[in-house]
Structure 1
Amino acid sequence: MATFNAQDGTKIYFKDWGKGKPVLFSHGWPLDADMWDSQMNFLAQRGYRAIAFDRRGFGRSDQPWEGYDYDTFASDINDLIEHLDLREITLVGFSMGGGDVARYIGRYGSERVSALALLGAVTPIFIKTDDHPEGVDKSVFDDIKVGLLKDRAQFISDFSTPFYGLNKGQSVSDGVKAQTLNIALLASLKGTVECVTAFSETDFRADIAKIDVPTLVIHGSGDQVVPFEATGRLAASTIKNARLKVYENAPHGFAVTHQQQLNDDLLAFLTSH
């Protein structure tokens, strides 16, 4: 099993498929690298090197008690990039993973990065604040943490409905729902809860301002988890020369519901720069 050691000794799992220009994927909450299997397989078959890791506390990575903050997540990505000596990378971040890759550029620059894709991402800021009134109220995130601590398995099971838009005309198989729950339950409870605080309260606006590589922003207009108007639209309007693609009525989990469309769009973006 391929792993590397982060700065604090945490062992982090990654998968590395194919050969060619590298594409590094950062997953969403509460998932792991397996959420990217379709995209990785598709791109690796077309001459790219697809790499994805399990965030600390999730999947097959170690479950440390501390380190569930975006400076640490960005440091972990930097450690992986240096471990594999990657260059000319396209970074792809979904949901909370969009924060990882934005903070990576904010802290480490874009010397090794050639492009960026933010998919349903929590950037530039998720939570409602005085200067971000369109954000999501803190009480929503507080309720999520209460639900996780009370009955994580049932909470995640129920969470599949808005995540995949099952209450808004979308559909996924029973297998997908089972896999989503199984992946989520591999994670540390501590990490799962603390990441809610991290992805909801972290302000990425300073990181977004430092992005100087071609950027693709994809968001579903029907996203009930990370609302487009509060996040993706603002990111696309802030990042210089960003391309915005809105998937009409698509839910947060469009990597599944709009799998082929996403695969095709990522490939088109990769071949355009």
Structure 2
Amino acid sequence: MGRYVQVEPNVNVFVEDIGEGKPVVFLHGWPVNYKMFEYQLNVLPNQGIRAIAIDFRGYGKSDKPSTGYNYDRMADDVRAVIDDLQLTDAVLAGFSMGGAIAVHYMARHAGHGVSKLALLSAAAPVFTQREGYPYGLTPAQLTEQIIEPIFADRPKLLETFGGMFFAKQHSQPFMDWFHALGMEASSYGTINSAIALRDEDLRGDLSSIQVPTAILHGKKDEICPFEFAEEMHKGIAGSQLIAFEESGHGAFYDELEKFNAELIRFIKSGL
């Protein structure tokens, strides 16, 4: 069942909420929306899991204000949803940019309402290179290769980005569908979120995470290199790292059956 949650005056985000049981809050990646989790939402409610998926501001069915795309505000939006739904024992599952926001949520809001964390091909702890962090694009490369092309030809940029997403060959209709998810976003939300990906640094947040954490990451990821997962694993005490040998960034579809099985196992562990 879909509903809207007010996250600040005049800004409402869309939330899909289906099934009953252990609640899992899904946070999507850049530049798509909650529908990217279709192949998880098909399965989890049949496993006694309540699947809750948020469209971030600027994306999908949510309102599209011109501001509010930094990690602080996006994490606060997640808090507003968790409070509105009165969740106290949720699994927070963030993919790519959503994974970065999940990490920041755990630090900024002290893990409020969250009992487990699943980081899915997460764009964390940093998406671009820094001193002591030589992984991913440099900030200048991201500006040149992603941000500037959005101003010139957003559909073409999203097609290029989508072409890097998966390690396996998928059908053209699937790729067309996935591209269309990105086109549902606002252009300015897409740009401002890319700026956040370029500039935010969450290395100081990792030690704040005190809940069981699973890191699911593709070995062939060209967008968030596998070194990201290793850095998160090192920084989050007691975390488990689950590698997907045949997957790119989109492990949720490249190795769909394994991905769903590992996610369900983690959600249900200890219940």
Bin of the TM-score, shorter chain as denominator length: over 0.9
1:254 and 2:254 aligned? no
1:77-92 equivalences in 2 (<5 Å): 77-92=78-93
Deviation at 1:120, TM superposition (A): 0.7
Aligned to 2:210: 212
Write the distance in 1 (CA, Å) between the matches of 2:56 and 2:113.
Answer: 20
Q: Which moved more, 1:109-118 or 1:218-227?
A: 109-118
Match of 1:174 among 172, 175, 182: 172
Aligned to 1:17: 18
Stretches of structure 1 that go unaligned for 5 or more consecutive residues are: none
Aligned to 2:34: 33
Aligned to 2:235: 238
CA-to-aligned-CA distance 1:201-238 (integer Å, 9 cap, x gap): 21112221100000000111100011111x11100111
Q: Match for 1:161: what amino acid?
A: G
Q: Match for 2:127: what amino acid?
A: F
* Kept after mapping to 1: 8 A contact 2:32/2:59: yes
CA-to-aligned-CA distance 1:138-181 (integer Å, 9 cap, x gap): 1221121111111111111122221113xxxx111112111111
Deviation at 1:83, TM superposition (A): 0.6
Deviation at 1:134, TM superposition (A): 3.0
Deviation at 1:259, TM superposition (A): 1.2
**DSSP-derived class of the 2:84 partner:** helix
Aligned to 1:61: 62
Q: Which moved more, 1:184-193 or 1:252-261?
A: 252-261
Match of 2:268 among 257, 268, 271: 271
1:150-189 equivalences in 2 (<5 Å): 150-165=152-167, 170-189=168-187
* Kept after mapping to 2: 8 A contact 1:17/1:41: no
Match of 1:146 among 145, 148, 155: 148
* Kept after mapping to 1: 8 A contact 2:122/2:229: yes
CA-to-aligned-CA distance 1:50-79 (integer Å, 9 cap, x gap): 000111000010110100110000000000
Write the distance in 2 (CA, Å) between the matches of 1:36 and 1:88.
Answer: 21
Q: 1:160 and 1:212, CA in 2 relative to 1: closer, same or farther beyond 3 A? A: same
Structure 1: 4+ residue segments shifted above 4 A: none
Aligned to 2:102: 101
Write the distance in 1 (CA, Å) between the matches of 2:100 and 2:161.
Answer: 21
Write the distance in 1 (CA, Å) between the matches of 2:160 and 2:150.
Answer: 11
* Kept after mapping to 2: 8 A contact 1:63/1:191: yes
Q: Match for 1:13: what amino acid?
A: F
What's the TM-score once normalised by structure 1's chain length?
A: 0.95
* Kept after mapping to 2: 8 A contact 1:22/1:87: no
Aligned sequence identity (%) = 33
Q: Match for 2:150: what amino acid?
A: L
Write the distance in 1 (CA, Å) between the matches of 2:43 and 2:141.
Answer: 36
CA-to-aligned-CA distance 1:118-150 (integer Å, 9 cap, x gap): 011011112111121234211221121111111
Q: Match for 1:126: what amino acid?
A: F
Query: What RMSD in Å do the two structures reach over aligned CA positions?
Result: 1.2
Stretches of structure 2 that go unaligned for 5 or more consecutive residues are: none
Deviation at 1:111, TM superposition (A): 4.1
What's the TM-score once normalised by structure 2's chain length?
A: 0.96
* Kept after mapping to 2: 8 A contact 1:223/1:249: no
Q: Match for 1:264: what amino acid?
A: A
**DSSP-derived class of the 2:23 partner:** strand
